[in-house]
Amino acid sequence: MESKKLKAFTLIELLVVIVVISIILTFVTMSLRGVQRSSRDDRRISDLNLVASALDQYATSNARIYPLGRANGNTGYAVVPLSSLQSSLTGYINSLPADPLGSAGYEYKYIYRNDGREAAVIASQFETGTRKCNFDATTAPEIVKSSGGNVCYYVAR
């Protein structure tokens, strides 16, 4: 009688394959996270440009005065959440964008001079340390310096 010899993987071989696959998946996951962060930062820049365009349209229609700043008449600066502009920008933008992460520390803000003659929108933080639209605080307009200066911003014209 002839004995049948089964061909199969040993436990050690299976464990080695599982470890190799795990390492490969770890690298893929880490590289995807970087791509996601960069994508969210690109969206933030796009959002800032979209809102700034709506602000410019608003100002063009309102004697070059930006929203919220008409009442005070002094030259101080105010920083408010971007969401506070929703009613002012009706007709200029369908809806105001929110930061893609939507968590604390990542939000869009609106900075304006109280006489309404100057305005900017900013993103509080970026995930990748991108320099795509950050500017050295010494070259930032006064309105952005008043917010801390180390932010990505778009100054309405």
Q: Taking 90 as the threshold, does the pLDDT of residue 22 lie above it?
A: yes
Least confident of 13-17, 25-29, 67-71: 67-71
Q: Is pLDDT at 20 greater than 70 in this prediction?
A: yes
pLDDT band at 132 (very low <50, low <70, confident <90, very high): low
Single-letter residue type at 37: R
What's the pLDDT score for residue 58? 93
Whether residue 48 contacts residue 123, with contact meaning beta carbons closer than 8 Å, is answered with: yes
CA–CA distance, 118 with 93 (Å, rounded to integer): 19
* Strand, coil or helix: 35: helix
Greater pLDDT, 66 or 2: 66
Q: What is the pLDDT of residue 76?
A: 76
Task: Give the model confidence (pLDDT) of 79-125 as tens digits.
Answer: 888 888 989 999 999 999 998 988 777 888 888 888 888 887 877 77
pLDDT the model gives residue 31: 80
Handedness of CA 120, 123, 125, 127 (dihedral sign): negative
Indicate if the pLDDT at residue 155 is higher than 80. no
Three-state secondary structure call for residue 94: coil
- pLDDT tops 60 at residue 134: no
**pLDDT tens for residues 23-67?**
999 988 888 888 888 888 888 888 888 998 899 899 999 998 888
